[in-house]
Amino acid sequence: MMRVIPKDKVIFHFNTTNQANYTVADGEVFWVEADDCYSGQITDASVKRPDIDISIMDCAVGPINVEGAHPGDTLCVEVLAIDLADHGIMVTNCGLGVLGDRITEPDTKIIPVHDGFAHFSDTIKIPLTPMIGVMGVAPKSGEIHCAVPDDHGANMDTKLVKVGSRVYFPVGQEGAGLAVGDMHACMGDGELSGTGIEIAGRMCLKVTVYRDRPIERPVIETFDGIYFLASRPTLDESIKVATADVVEFLMKKLNLSFPDAYRLMSATCDAQICEVVDDNVTVRLHCPKFDTRIQTL
């Protein structure tokens, strides 16, 4: 019987001292249920963003400890399935998102989700692109709110955290302390209005601990490439950090000098934006699998 981790035990911060609420085995496959990022407070379109308690927003279900995960290891979280609730939420709010200065009053839109589409209006339907906004592990040090993405993951709002992807994290504490939440039915790169189609649901995950592929920050592997993520206060800083990680990866895997790895990176890799609306900006450098030696992390 596959375990289902319910949504009632959550954290609001990733830190070094959170006690595990659940423990799973290395290699285990399990489901996790999650509320939407508003913790279910937006029950209908009459509830506007200023009406809710933002202190309980963006929480994450967990911590889920993985047996045998030690500091310095790498935790791989493979997303095997995502089930969505029957409706999602999109709010607008004054100041929210890159054009938030043009919003004069808050508004909430409830968006039915069924038959593979988000039904944005009677005449507009959008193919679903289910993804997980918050996924992270306990950091090496400090305490960071779940809404803030950083080297331990958390609110990375990256549309590649989806079915078929393997998301790697640096283990900072014994057991790793995985926590997840903030599912989206659809979201574009950037999350430009400040939200995706925010939705509750459940996700099926498989965890694996690796000891031979150390990383400093989250990395996502898909069939078509390896993506190096970085979350820093500005786009410039994030791109610089992610670029350095890719160059180091190419130097190591292909046995190249810095200048050669630097130009190879520039010739092959794409800088892409995950989100620009959280307290740190998240980017990813896409390294395609153009050589047999870079098929995996």
Which residue lies nearer to Zn ion by CB, 73 or 191? 191
How many chain residues touch Zn ion (CB under 5 A)? 4
Shortest Å distance, C-beta 57 to Ca ion: 9
Name which of 24 and 60 has its Cβ closer to Zn ion: 60
CA distance 276 to 155: 11
Nearer to Zn ion, 66 or 160 (CB): 160
Tell me whether residue 25 or residue 98 sits nearer to Ca ion (CB atom): 98
| Strand partners of residue 201 | 34, 84
Direct distance between the N- and C-terminal alpha carbons of the chain, in angstroms, rounded to an integer: 31
* 88 near Zn ion, judged by CB under 5 A: no
Smallest gap from residue 149 Cβ to Ca ion (A): 9
Instruction: Choose, by CB under 5 A, the member of 5, 32, 34, 37 that binds Zn ion.
Output: 37
Binders of Zn ion among residues 156 to 185 (CB under 5 A) are: 182
CB of 222 to Ca ion, least distance (A): 20
* Nearest distance from C-beta of residue 182 to Ca ion, angstroms: 4
The CA-based diameter of the chain, rounded to the nearest angstrom, is 59
- Kindly state the tokens that stand for 110: 């409830």
Rounded to a whole number of angstroms, the minimum distance from the CB of residue 68 to Ca ion is 30
With respect to Zn ion, which residue has the nearer C-beta, 172 or 201? 201
Binding positions for Ca ion, rule: CB under 5 A:
133, 155, 157, 182
Q: Which is nearer to Ca ion, 42 or 69 (CB)?
A: 42
Which residue type, as a one-letter code, is found at position 52?
Answer: I
**Is the Cβ of residue 182 or residue 245 nearer to Ca ion in the bound state?**
182
- Pairing mode, strands 201-210 and 29-34: antiparallel
131/261 with CB nearer Ca ion: 131
63 prior amide bond cis, ω within 30? yes
Please give, one letter per residue, the 3-state secondary structure of the chain: CCEEECCCCEECEEECCCCCCEEECCCCEEEEEECCCCCCCCCCCCCCHHHCCHHHCCCEEEEEEECCCCCCCEEEEEEEEEEECCEEEEEECCCCCCCHHHCCCCEEEEEEEECCEEECCCCCEEECCCEEEEEECCCCCCEEECCCCECCEEECCCCCCCCCCEEEEECCCCCCCEEEEEEECCCCCECCCCCCCEECEEEEEEEEEECCCCCCCCEEEECCEEEEEEEECCHHHHHHHHHHHHHHHHHHHHCCCHHHHHHHHHHHCEEEEEECCCCCEEEEEEEECCCHHHCCC
Q: Taking CB positions, which residue lies at the least distance from Ca ion?
A: 133
Which range in 3-11, 36-44, 200-208, 229-237 contacts Zn ion by CB under 5 A?
Answer: 36-44
Query: Considering only 87-95, 140-148, 196-204, 208-216, which stretch makes contact with Zn ion by CB under 5 A?
Result: 196-204
Q: Which does 155 bind (CB under 5 to 8 A by kind): Zn ion, Ca ion, none?
A: Ca ion
Least Cβ distance, residue 265 to Zn ion (angstroms): 31
Among 133, 170, 175, 218, binds Zn ion (CB under 5 A): 133
- As measured in angstroms, the least distance from the Cβ of 169 to Ca ion is 17
| CB 156, min distance to Zn ion, A | 11
Residues lying near Zn ion in the complex (CB under 5 A): 37, 133, 182, 198
